Chain A
Amino acid sequence: MYRYDSFDHQITAERVAQFRDQVRRRLAGELSEDEFRILRLQNGLYMQIHAYMMRIAVPYGLVSAAQMRMFAHIARKYDRGYGHFTTRQNIQFNWLKLQDAPDILAELASVEMHANQTSGNCIRNITSDEFAGVARDEIVDPRPYAEILRQWSTFHPEFAYLPRKFKFAITGASEDRAAIAVHDIGLAVVKNAQGEVGFRVLVGGGLGRTPVIGVEICDFVPWQHIITYAESIVRVYNEYGRRDNIYKARIKILVKALGIEEFKRQVEADWQHTKNGPCTITQSELDRVAAYFTAPAYEVCANEDESLQAMLDDNRGFANWYQRSVKHHKVAGYASVVLSLKKTGIAPGDATDKQMDAAAELAERFSFGELRITHMQNLVLADVKQSDLFSLWEAAKALGMATPNIGLITDMICCPGGDFCTLANARSIPLAKAIAECFEDIDFQHDIGELEMNISGCINACGHHHVGHIGILGVDKDGEEWYQVQIGGAQGNDANLGKVIGKSFSFEQMPEVIARLLQVYVRERYDDERFIDTVRRLGVEPFKAEVYGTLVESDEALKAPDYELLKVGVSYDMPYYSPRF
């Protein structure tokens, strides 16, 4: 993975010093909260309901064992012993003190990490494919380009005060695992007919209250020009994006208003000034960065077909886990493994300090000391020898990270919701837990098969409900929490937005609603058809008919006791205190 040189270290250290002074001035009253807010956001620091939250950047989701141990250390020393991995491959700590923030940043810098631009109206951390470098369907490894773009966007002087946040995602494989269609700029590294490397560029995708699938602005930008091309897109957005209404300020609104043809014309007119200029990426810079992403020292081994098969035949638990958690690897004898952070009863994406320390150790023992964080909020060990899979499974099981539910109904994406976020209409985490408990039976889950369930506590859609096969949205009715259900959304190559099935439901009705959706699926599916494909084939009608056909009973036992959390300090001014901002 990328390692800092003296230049990266110096810039990071200067940033820590700058923020330390800003915090000092805030605490001394020299900076007003209004002046300070934007500065702390650009250092990843939010004020939430109970405390400060810090979002730490994990560039394109890649972490070393040493960095993972640093997360564990921060969880222990400054937080309440756990952290939360997010849908943008970052990690958040929810219970911090403002005074500690500069020290935390300094500790992070010691392991080549930071919280730069993880919030605020600037270019955010760039996300990528969790299987970059190891996936069999990879065309080009996107990570060197992601790192080059990270450096370009870090403290870019022209783009720190954009109309709104700005997110890049990049993939280099034929299957899009980075959800590039729902980012402000989505990049797919591709090869043209001549075998040259470049980018297919999508623009204007995003979720939130106006969900939009990104549109192609250029089918091939040669790799040398991606900085200048991206810079022109962001510049046109900075100049013309709306600033009068935060709900209309994302680039997707500008692209819609101008139309993609006119937007592209403006971008390319700007680009003519910089194309081939000094910001053109040089071969030597690409080579320098790419050298950090060469393959580790794989052993030469064959695919473990026979002995592995014997163990799979022998052990049902191992076989279940293998089926869900183990992914193909491009090198013979190796596999990639997803460690589940979706154990029933735990908030999706949460990990304790002990789990993080242990995950670091697993990475050292089994995967060349590196891990990845997925946008589904799980961890990946990318380079595991197939002959080690059984020992890894046993170790992961002991740590509560081997739930065989990857890609299944309980592998949910869920926003922080009403327990942490002041914008919430409803609680997400308790609902995720309640649903997970109802469908915990692993045989049932395996029978239902691949199903993505995404939950957002309000229309801001941090839980990506629009692109869940089943999407759940918290809505407010007369001050009470209700949940609206949509089905048929998807991310990836065939990304599309789900359709609402009808009137919303109470917390207590939700498990029954999900059960009815699944009943229709089980009744109607063809052999191996996934839930999403059945929905696509039949449309929402049969699901609607089943769900609304008879009264949905409330499961009174589900009445969650923790309403108290919602009542704490929700009287803050609106948008400042949400992970959304």
Chain B
Amino acid sequence: MIIKNKTVVADDWSVLRLAESDTADGVVVPAGRILVPLKVWLAQRDSLQHRADVGVWFASDERAEDLQAEVQKFSVVAVDFPKFADGRGYSIAYHLRSRLGYKGELRAIGDVLRDQIFYMQRVGFDAFVPRADKDINEVLKGLSDFSLTYQASSDEAQPLFRRVTR
């Protein structure tokens, strides 16, 4: 189960993570809906590009620009949070949405917890895979912590001072 468009839904995408012995160009990408590391996509683009059931995921030290306009062909892109305190994923998401204009599903994976997903939603995530030990219905509540925000981000192009008359 994952959180998508603010509800808990079933999901059949799996995530390919490289084992130590795997290489980006050597690893076998199984059939079925699968999110592959950006490195694997870049190394195996020729054989993967005809598969509609492949998406990519970014590690926190990778950059949205590494994919450029190609990002548009994916229906699902994910960003991994190795630790919830690693904030690079927020800027990756912001770039994907605001700079590259990515419109498909943007999914947060890894150390995804209730108390961070409000900000994640703001920078452009619309799907969340909470850490396995957490109650997904509890995590969902995090999306409604605030009903009002000061700044613009991917979810809201206008800062508060342009949205309302103060």
> Which A residues lie at the B interface, using CB under 8 A?
5, 7, 10-11, 14-15, 18, 22, 30-31, 35, 38-39, 121, 151-152, 154-163, 227, 235, 238-239, 243, 273, 278-279, 281-282, 284-285, 288
Q: Would A239 and B115 count as touching, CB distance under 8 A? A: no
Which chain B residues border A152 with CB–CB below 8 Å? 150-151, 159
Q: Give Cα A39–Cα B84 distance, bound, in whole angstroms.
A: 11
How far does the Cβ of B146 sit from chain A's closest Cβ, in whole Å?
A: 5
Which chain A residues border B119 with CB–CB below 8 Å? 155, 157-158, 160
Q: Would A10 and B147 count as touching, CB distance under 8 A? A: yes
Closest B residue by C-beta to A14? B146
Q: Give Cα A179–Cα B25 distance, bound, in whole angstroms.
A: 52
Which chain B residues border A155 with CB–CB below 8 Å? 119, 146, 149-151
Q: Would B153 and A38 count as touching, CB distance under 8 A? A: no
| Known contacts A7-B164, A11-B146, A39-B115, A238 near B87 by CB under 8 Å | yes
Interface residues of B in 65-90 (CB under 8 A from A): 84-88, 90
Can you list 13 A-B pairs with a CB-CB distance of less than 8 A? Answer: A7-B148, A11-B146, A14-B145, A151-B151, A152-B151, A152-B159, A155-B149, A157-B119, A158-B87, A158-B119, A158-B123, A160-B87, A161-B85
Which chain A residues border B113 with CB–CB below 8 Å? 35
B151 is contacted by which of A10, A39, A273, A279 (Cβ under 8 Å)? A279
User: Is the C-beta of B91 less than 8 angstroms from some C-beta in chain A?
Assistant: yes
User: Is the C-beta of B63 less than 8 angstroms from some C-beta in chain A?
Assistant: yes
B148 is contacted by which of A10, A30, A35, A282 (Cβ under 8 Å)? A10
Q: Would B85 and A121 count as touching, CB distance under 8 A? A: yes
Q: Would A239 and B91 count as touching, CB distance under 8 A? A: yes
What 20 additional pairs, Cβ within 8 angstroms, besides A161-B86, A243-B88, A278-B157? A14-B146, A14-B147, A35-B113, A121-B85, A151-B151, A152-B159, A157-B120, A157-B149, A161-B85, A162-B87, A227-B159, A238-B88, A278-B152, A279-B151, A279-B159, A282-B162, A285-B161, A285-B162, A288-B161, A288-B166
Q: Give Cα A279–Cα B150 distance, bound, in whole angstroms.
A: 11
User: Is the C-beta of B160 less than 8 angstroms from some C-beta in chain A?
Assistant: yes
B150 is contacted by which of A22, A151, A243 (Cβ under 8 Å)? A151
* Interface pairs A-B: 10 shortest CB-CB: A161-B87, A157-B122, A157-B119, A285-B161, A158-B90, A151-B150, A18-B145, A14-B146, A238-B91, A278-B158
Q: Would B91 and A235 count as touching, CB distance under 8 A? A: yes
Q: Would A7 and B166 count as touching, CB distance under 8 A? A: yes
Q: Would B151 and A243 count as touching, CB distance under 8 A? A: no
